[in-house]
Copies of this chain bind each other. A is one copy, B any other.
Amino acid sequence: MNTPTHLSRRAFIGSVAPLAGLPLLGSWPYPSFATEKFTVGAIIESIMKEVDGAPFPRTVDQLRTGKLDQEVTGIVTTMFPTMDVIQKTADLGANFIIAHETPFYNNNDETDWLQNDTAYLHKMELIQKHKIAIWRFHDYWHRHKPDGIIMGNLIKLGWEKHYDPNTPRLLTLPKSMPIRAIADLAKNKLGISTVRIVGNLKQECTRIYLAFGYMDSRMQIAAIDQYKPDLILSGETREWETIERVRDGQQMGLNTSIMVLSHAVSEEAGMEYAAQWLQPKVPGMKITHIPSTNPFTFY
């Protein structure tokens, strides 16, 4: 796919106008035009330079497949590096996936327990066939200031101007919105078909606690007491922990509600934003965001 003709066409489009809907950042969208070559390791280093305290002694952000000295032909950012995302990466002629979440169905990306798992074996075959490097960009992206996942979502929701670095997880809206309107906004801007809510759709909300992705329940429950948010915007949470605490609170008259977006779609915007954020650091490199999408059908 990554033929000179194709590149010329993209460069030509780029010279006329940026692609619709995306800001012109650095040299983007002039893909693979530069003479500079990048290895996987060099790209990871350029990302870590932007994060205070990096490299962390313990982090899940490790190279899970491929090699640090591998030359990169194109980058894909995504939420979950699913089989489909890996195949589409190969189809694009790219060989480096920067994924927020685990390829191997566990946060630490352990693989010893998967040595006979049909899907794992097939996935590794696919990865090795196309020589795909996969690096997790989870801890560093959350620790970036501002948290890249939160900021990606806020930009999509049109809420980035309400971001307060002093309370990065607590957003205060200038004007209250009912839960139903917040759900409509999230569904519309983040591409979600259905959300799950513990609370009343008519409840007015000003204080929104941001818990995209998965958040430890004890931290979340402590935050309910500390911040008394009207609404928690959650990606995924445990039902016997946070959900029951929110329900009990409502049954005693407290007004913290929770909206569960689903894990994948609650962080996807943050990885789309990562693609734009990364572009000026790797001039000329083609970076594509491939959404892993919501796995669920609601019926």
Point out the residue from B82, B242, B252 that lies within 8 Å of A247, measured CB to CB. Answer: B82
Also in contact, A295 and B239, with CB within 8 A (given A80-B244, A82-B247, A218-B113): yes
Query: Which residues 192-213 in A have Cβ within 8 Å of B in the complex?
Result: 194-199, 201
Contact B248 A123 (CB under 8 A): yes
Contacts of A271 in B (CB 8 A): none
CB distance from A3 to the nearest CB of B (A): 27
Also in contact, A119 and B245, with CB within 8 A (given A80-B240, A236-B238): yes
Q: Is A9 an interface residue (CB 8 A)?
A: no
Contacts of A251 in B (CB 8 A): 82-84
Contact B214 A298 (CB under 8 A): no
Interface locus among A23-31, A39-47, A50-58, A102-110: A102-110
CA distance A197 to B193 in the complex (A): 13
Point out the residue from B119, B183, B263 that lies within 8 Å of A240, measured CB to CB. Answer: B263
**What bracket does the count of chain A residues touching chain B fall in?**
35 or more
Query: Which residues 100-141 in A have Cβ within 8 Å of B in the complex?
Result: 101-102, 105-107, 113-114, 116-119, 122-123
Contacts of A116 in B (CB 8 A): 225
Contact B252 A122 (CB under 8 A): yes
Contact B83 A248 (CB under 8 A): yes
Contact B244 A105 (CB under 8 A): yes
As for how many copies of this chain the complex holds, the number is 2
Contact B119 A254 (CB under 8 A): yes
Query: Which residues 74-113 in A have Cβ within 8 Å of B in the complex?
Result: 80, 82-84, 101-102, 105-107, 113
CA distance A290 to B117 in the complex (A): 41
Point out the residue from B122, B240, B242, B295 that lies within 8 Å of A243, measured CB to CB. Answer: B295
Contact B297 A298 (CB under 8 A): no
Also in contact, A118 and B249, with CB within 8 A (given A196-B296, A197-B296, A198-B297): yes
CA distance A185 to B117 in the complex (A): 31
Q: List 29 A-B contacts (CB under 8 A).
A: A82-B244, A82-B247, A82-B248, A101-B240, A101-B244, A102-B240, A105-B221, A105-B241, A105-B248, A106-B240, A107-B240, A113-B218, A117-B225, A117-B245, A119-B252, A183-B299, A195-B298, A196-B296, A196-B297, A198-B295, A198-B297, A201-B297, A214-B240, A236-B239, A239-B263, A240-B263, A243-B295, A260-B296, A298-B298
